[in-house]
Amino acid sequence: MALMPFRTHVMRLVAQCGNYCTLQRSMAYKSAISLETLYPNSTLKLSTPSFTPNPNEKFSGFIPLNKLEIQYSASSGPGGQHVNKVHTKVDLRFKLSEADWIPAEIRDKMIELHSNKLTKEGYLVIRSDATRTQQLNLADCLQKLRNMIRDAAVTKREPSPETEEMIRQRHLKASRLRVAMKREEALKRAERRAPTVVDL
Amino acid sequence: MGSRQITEKSLVMLRSLPRLSLANIRDNPGSKKNTKRGRGQHGGDKHGAGNKGSGQRQNYMRLGYETGNNPFYLRMPHEPYYKGHHHRREYPPISLLEIQKLIDTDLIDITQPIDIASIVKSGLYNFFPDKKHFGINLTDEGVDSFAAKINIEVQWASEQVIAAIEKNGGVITTAYYDPHSLFLLKNPKKFFESGQAIPRRMIPPADVIEYYTSAETRGYLADPEKISQERFRLSQKYGYELPNIENDQCYTMLCERKDPRQIFHGLEPGWVVNLKDKCILKPKDDELLQFYAS
């Protein structure tokens, strides 16, 4: 071959694109900024992690999707042929009483809160057709479900004895002021009337 | 003149000059200014304000006013519509629907990792690196109907697009290519015919390095372990069962990635590809090898 860069030496290699990747795998190119150098303690492998719930949290946000029944249908509203043909509305339902993935107290609270919204068979139904894509509508339904669960998980903190005492004192003070005002007004009205003469 | 000679000369001068007195010294120029008295012949009468006009009446014209003609500061309008446009990067879009079409019509081979070179080779997408185009922006049109398991590398992708690809068991990576590398990728044959050594890919600029280092955006510089966690989080957010890619038969192909300094799959920086003689020339010199591996 004619002109070669003056410092490179020729190394004839039969390089066929098909076999190339397999040849190079064992001695693949690694630069100074390769992932091995950037993350030396990592396995650098893509995996499917299994979920481990946090023991401190009552509800971690994890929803097992195989326990939910999801149906798709056509959305309502304007849009012509597109809105008629594409099933972007998402209908998500599950039996609330049999949902063992929700902690028991939260489940009971939810049944209490949404008892009027459950169907005859006891299904909680969440629907969404807010966006133009099925993907986002499904995400919306799941968000709504998580919000419902988190609202049911909220427990009001009981006020401390000091706070209770403070509230009681406030009530008493208000009563005292009210009665004092009442007495003042009574006195004012009495002074405007003719004096009651008491014959001793 | 040496310093000793200077001192000698000064002393000689000092002996011959007259004695220093108030009569032969004066202040430094500009140190004393004459105070203007507003009384008497010179300071009185009009008190430095002249005759009539805005000067005497303290009714001055605004700064920049040029007695009616279009003033200098208004002659050139300020219309900053394209200010800094040459600093902004553009990512010409291609939708998931188009990618699906390319796959269905066999213009793209999904048994191999897909990158910008394969998409440009299909003929249905083009970009111009000299016009500040920095790569592919994968848009979410066709996100509901996408059904292909691919290992794709783009330059910009939104969360929904990432979710759609991962739902089908695929892998998406966002990677940065500097303009020179993009020219190479757009037309590799032309570059190989030029006989130059393959250069190293440069690292992303400061304002976008965070994008390419974060696992949320599937950056090529992010930790794959964190990416796995993000995959799981996204599956919970968008409501799909995360497919087990470790048990997939194409797992090695799906996990195949280019090194951050690599431009072409299977070709290292520093190599010279000779298409005519169908061979590759590799550098042997230590300095060169060190440079291309840095």
Chain B residues whose CB is inside 8 A of the A135 CB are 143-144, 160, 163-164, 238
Cα(B165)–Cα(B176) distance, integer angstroms: 19
Q: Which of residues 41-70 of B touch A (CB under 8 A)?
A: none
- Segment A75-103 shows an average pLDDT of 94
Q: Is the CB of residue B152 less than 8 Å from the CB of residue B173?
A: yes
- Segment B2-11 shows an average pLDDT of 91
For residue A139, what are the CA distances in angstroms to A90, A116, B21? 9, 25, 96
To the nearest whole Å, the CA of A107 is away from the closest chain B CA by 20
To the nearest whole Å, the CA of A86 is away from the closest chain B CA by 10
Identify the band that residue A22 occupies on the pLDDT scale cut at 50, 70 and 90.
very low
Per-domain residue ranges for chain B?
A: 87-265
- Segment A15-44 shows an average pLDDT of 72
- Segment B71-100 shows an average pLDDT of 95
For residue A7, pLDDT beyond 60 = no
Nearest to A70 by CA among A114, A156, A135, A119: A135
Question: Order of strands across the sheet with B93-95?
Answer: B93-95, B137-139, B156-157
Helices marked H in A39-160: 80-85, 104-113, 134-153
Question: Count H helices, E strands: chain A?
Answer: 6, 3
What is the tens place of the pLDDT at every residue in A117-137? 999 999 999 999 999 999 999
pLDDT of residue A4: 45
Tell me, letter by letter, the H, E, C secondary structure of A127-154: EECCCCCHHHHHHHHHHHHHHHHHHHHC
What is the tens place of the pLDDT at every residue in A59-81? 888 999 999 999 999 999 999 99
* Cross-strand pairs, A71: A91
Identify the band that residue A27 occupies on the pLDDT scale cut at 50, 70 and 90.
confident
To the nearest whole Å, the CA of A148 is away from the closest chain B CA by 15
Chain B residue with CA closest to A45: the answer is B224
Contact A5 B197 (CB under 8 A): yes
- Segment B129-135 shows an average pLDDT of 97
Cα(B61)–Cα(B70) distance, integer angstroms: 14
Q: Is the CB of residue A34 less than 8 Å from the CB of residue B259?
A: yes
Least confident of A20-29, B88-97, B144-153, B189-198: A20-29
Cα(A45)–Cα(B226) distance, integer angstroms: 10
Chain B residue with CA closest to A10: the answer is B281
Structure-block tokens of residue B183 = 């020219």
Contact B225 A21 (CB under 8 A): no
Q: Is the CB of residue A63 less than 8 Å from the CB of residue A138?
A: no
- Segment B249-273 shows an average pLDDT of 96
CB atoms within 10 A of CB B57: 9
To the nearest whole Å, the CA of B2 is away from the closest chain A CA by 58
Disruptive mutation site among B176, B201, B213, B236 for chain A (greatest number of A CBs within 10 Å)? B236
pLDDT of residue B106: 96
pLDDT of residue B8: 94
- Segment B35-42 shows an average pLDDT of 88
Q: Which of residues 44-63 of A touch B (CB under 8 A)?
A: 44-49, 51, 61-63
Q: Of all residues in chain B, what percent carry a pLDDT higher than 90?
A: 90
pLDDT of residue A17: 38
- Segment B5-11 shows an average pLDDT of 93
Query: Residue A92: in which H helix or E strand, if any?
Result: strand A89-95
pLDDT of residue A55: 74
For residue B36, pLDDT beyond 90 = no
Disruptive mutation site among B281, B282, B289, B291 for chain A (greatest number of A CBs within 10 Å)? B281
pLDDT of residue A25: 46
Contact B140 A133 (CB under 8 A): yes
- Segment A92-103 shows an average pLDDT of 94
For residue B86, pLDDT beyond 60 = yes
pLDDT of residue A156: 86
Angle at B233 between CA B231 and CA B236, to 5 degrees: 110
What is the tens place of the pLDDT at every residue in B150-187? 999 999 999 999 999 999 999 999 999 999 999 999 99
Contact B223 A17 (CB under 8 A): no
Mean pLDDT of chain A: 86
Chain A residues whose CB is inside 8 A of the B257 CB are 35
What is the tens place of the pLDDT at every residue in A164-200? 999 999 999 999 999 999 999 999 999 999 988 888 7
Torsion of Cα atoms, B150 then B151 then B154 then B157, to 10°: 60
pLDDT of residue B238: 97
Pairing, β A89-95 against β A69-73: antiparallel
Identify the band that residue A15 occupies on the pLDDT scale cut at 50, 70 and 90.
very low
Structure-block tokens of residue B155 = 């330059």
For residue B111, pLDDT beyond 90 = yes
Q: Is the CB of residue B95 less than 8 Å from the CB of residue B115?
A: no
CB-closest option in B236, B240, B277 to A1: B277
Mean pLDDT of chain B: 95
Burial of residue B174, with CB atoms counted within 10 A of its CB: 0-12 exposed, 13-18 middle, 19 or more buried: buried
B294 shares contact with chain A (CB less than 8 Å): yes
Q: Is the CB of residue B151 less than 8 Å from the CB of residue B99?
A: no
Q: Of all residues in chain A, what percent carry a pLDDT higher than 90?
A: 72
Q: Is A33 helix (H, G, I), strand (E, B) or coil?
A: coil
Query: Residue A124: in which H helix or E strand, if any?
Result: strand A123-128
Write down the residue that tokens 């694109």 correspond to: A17
Write down the residue that tokens 């070179």 correspond to: B117
pLDDT of residue A150: 93
Question: Length of chain B in residues, anyone?
Answer: 294
Write down the residue that tokens 């002109």 correspond to: A3
Cα(B275)–Cα(B103) distance, integer angstroms: 28
* Cross-strand pairs, A73: A89
Tell me, letter by letter, the H, E, C secondary structure of chain B: CCHHHHHHHHHHHHHHCCCCCHHHCCCCCCCCCCCCCCCHHHHCCCCCCCCCHHHHHCCCCCCCCCCCCCCHHHHCCCCCCCCCHHHCCECCEEEHHHHHHHHHCCCCCCCCCECHHHHHHCCCCCCCHHHCECCCEEECCCCCCCCCCCEEEECEECHHHHHHHHHCCCEEEECCCCHHHHHHHHCHHHHHHHCCCCCCCCCCCCCCHHHHHCCCCCECCCCHHHHHHHHHHHHHHHCCCCCCHHHCCCHHHHHCCCCCCCCCCCCCCCCEEECCCCEEECCCCHHHHHHHCC
Check: CATH 3.100.10.10 for B87-265?
A: yes
Structure-block tokens of residue B130 = 């000299």
